[in-house]
A and B are shown apart, each in its own frame.
Chain A
Amino acid sequence: MILSAKWRTVLTAAAVAVFMVFSQVCLAEASGDNYKIGGIFSVTGPASFLGDPEKKSMNLAIEEINEAGGVDGRKLEAVIYDTEGDPSKTVTSVGKLINKDRVTAIIGPSRTPTTLAAIPRVQRAELPFISCAAGNKIVEPIKPWVFKTAQSDIQAVASIYKHIKQKGIKKVGIITVANAFGESGKEQLQEQASDFGIAVVRSESFGADDTDMTAQLTKIRQEDPGAIICWGTNPGPAVVAKNIKQLDIKTPLYMSHGVASPKFIELAGKAAEDILLPTGKILVADLLGEDDPQKQVLSNYIEAYESRYNETVSGFGGYAYDAVYLLASAMKGTGGDKEKIRENLENISNHPGISGVFNFSKTDHNGLDPSAFVMVRIKNGDWKLVE
């Protein structure tokens, strides 16, 4: 087919025009004044109790930073996708953030399985990545670009054992839920026991939907432990608490941070009385002393979140809130250079956040120690700090 000269000119002009428009879009994107930060959270789906407050907290933190002038005068801009808690959707979203949105860093996802699915992509793309999930496998072994802000089982177990040791108890029985959360708790409970001179004399498990745990508790009682530790998320631990009262077991009961919410007290009712558990400080922010390094950050966050979204603050949004602030402080003076941001993140120390005081290093990409948790006792349906 031979095109007439006239047609050829028109086509060439059209091609040039298209190219110019396209390149201008690209240029605008590349030299835009904003830093784009990717967010991937399980905003809907079964883990929406994590993702929803995380998304809201990320937006809140970015608004606050922008109001205060942004990072080096440049504003931050959030690009948030919903993973629905699904690993394959997470990987797709990470791909979009890297290739289409060309973000400077990624915050999220909310769950450990989705985080683990995303890690290979961000490692290859060499992008700073701050996960909001709790699983310890995320930062163990250390991956250069991967950080996380949520406290992990290690610190929770350590604070429980510290308390048990102070009481002079030597034998504990543990009962854990049969899912990833319970398994990882069980692993830590058994691993750290000897460090505190404690022996785990009986280890039992229960299904997440089980209706009755008296058989397991009867077995634990036979060993006569000095304390019982239950590791799970609602509603199982509430059934355990009720069963223990019903069986008239007087042994002190410890729970994990997985039930550190008013919902647990509501579910377990009177059976919640006197249970001890570790929790992030956000649950007891108003009980903290003025000298607590996190006091100021916590009260600011709680006030801002509750007035902005008109709902009670949860412990989970803080993971994303911390991630944004950590990232913003690491981005200062880098001009968006990813390797520099990564290095700065590793050098952050004494950064008071919602989940604890962060001290990152080359060998620690979580940056928290057991002080991120405080032990509380449930008294009259409310939390009381344990000294």
Chain B
Amino acid sequence: MQEILQYLFSGITNGAIYAVIAVGFSMLYSSTELINFAHGEFVMLGALSMVTLAAGFGWPLVPAFVLTVAAVGMAGLLFERLAIRPVRQPDHIVLIIITVGASIFLRGLGMLIWGKDAYSMQPFSDHPPIDVAGAKLLAQSIWILVIVMALTAGLHLFYRRTLTGKAMSACAVSKKAAWIVGIPTKWMVLLAFALATAMGAVAGAIIAPVTMSSYDMGTVLGLKGFCAAMLGGLGSLWGAILGGFLLGILEALGVGFVSSGLKDATAFVLLLLVLYVRPQGIIGSAEVKRF
């Protein structure tokens, strides 16, 4: 019992992080039909910026967090302006290859700025782990869960209640139709990029205290987030959240009950299964339903 609970705690913490990353993938896909393979690198930028500001410069957490998310969001904006917008023939395959190139570039940049060493930082609060029936729940896990939940609720409200959010959803349904009714679609795409990369930064910033951050951490995290997004249904907010938690929990249980060698395999076997059996994901109709 104690073991199962411990596996679940570990799975939920990891799952929450996969979920935030998956939301970034999904969000961008729903408004641009683009899969951003550089997304994991934005997570890395978020984590390393957070460590630098909070641990390196000794800033308080809140400003460090806000500045990290804003800066990485800006980087996403620049990425769209400099690498995606100027493409003359924006075929999907061309754009996706550009994002792969961008991920290699960003990893190189990360290595130049931060070097090859890993960095760590203190948890957000110095509370000892909480004992639940013998299993230990980290204070940072609670932080992660609360932040992820708040973020999801915020995004949900943004898409349902605000004019900008609705305009973004409209772009997602049909860009041309949205343009005809007077929605500045180019701005919406730009906004989607900034928001999606900012989500990546949030994931990086909240994960920094539980693990070690280094320039090459983004690849695996990005792939896991992508798996989670596919699992839940690419383009769906709640699908991404569900996919993230499911992946995290299955991974932890796989390690616990089968073998620790299976950890990464879990994600990719699930991805293959989803692609074979239900390509639209768990949530999401065949005609991808967007936010």
Residues of A within 8 A of B (CB): 46, 48-49, 178, 204-207, 209-212, 214-216, 218-219, 222, 234-236, 238-239, 246-248, 263, 266-269
Count B interface residues, CB 8 Å. Answer: 34
For the complex, would chain A's binding face be called helix, strand, loop or mixed by DSSP majority? helix
CA distance in complex: A64, B33 (Å): 64
| Listed residue (A206, A218, A222) with the most chain B CB atoms within 10 angstroms of its CB | A218
Whether A211 touches B120, Cβ cut-off 8 Å, given contacts A218-B3, A218-B256, A247-B6, is: no
The answer to whether A49 and B116 touch across the interface, beta carbons within 8 angstroms, is yes
| Listed residue (A205, A246, A267) with the most chain B CB atoms within 10 angstroms of its CB | A246
Which residues, 174 to 204 on B, are CB-close (under 8 Å) to A? none
Contacts of B14 in A (CB 8 A): 211-212
CA distance in complex: A61, B262 (Å): 47
The answer to whether A247 and B211 touch across the interface, beta carbons within 8 angstroms, is no
Return the chain A residue nearest B111 by Cβ.
Answer: A46
Residues of B within 8 A of A (CB): 3, 6-7, 9-11, 13-14, 17, 116-120, 122, 129, 136, 138, 207, 210-212, 214, 216-217, 219-220, 252, 255-256, 260-261, 263-264
The answer to whether B120 and A269 touch across the interface, beta carbons within 8 angstroms, is yes
Least CB distance from A220 to B in Å reads 10
CA distance in complex: A186, B12 (Å): 30
CA distance in complex: A49, B116 (Å): 9
Return the chain B residue nearest A270 by Cβ.
Answer: B122
Whether A206 touches B210, Cβ cut-off 8 Å, given contacts A247-B136, A248-B129, A267-B118, is: no
The answer to whether A234 and B212 touch across the interface, beta carbons within 8 angstroms, is yes
Whether A222 touches B210, Cβ cut-off 8 Å, given contacts A246-B129, A247-B136, is: no
The answer to whether B256 and A215 touch across the interface, beta carbons within 8 angstroms, is yes
Return the chain A residue nearest B131 by Cβ.
Answer: A248
The answer to whether B261 and A219 touch across the interface, beta carbons within 8 angstroms, is no
Contacts of A46 in B (CB 8 A): 116
Whether A215 touches B211, Cβ cut-off 8 Å, given contacts A205-B260, A206-B260, is: no
Whether A210 touches B263, Cβ cut-off 8 Å, given contacts A238-B120, A248-B136, is: yes
Of A215, A235, A239, the contact of B260 (CB 8 Å cutoff): A215
Return the chain B residue nearest A203 by Cβ.
Answer: B260
The answer to whether A209 and B216 touch across the interface, beta carbons within 8 angstroms, is yes
Return the chain B residue nearest A175 by Cβ.
Answer: B260
The answer to whether B212 and A267 touch across the interface, beta carbons within 8 angstroms, is yes
The answer to whether B3 and A216 touch across the interface, beta carbons within 8 angstroms, is no
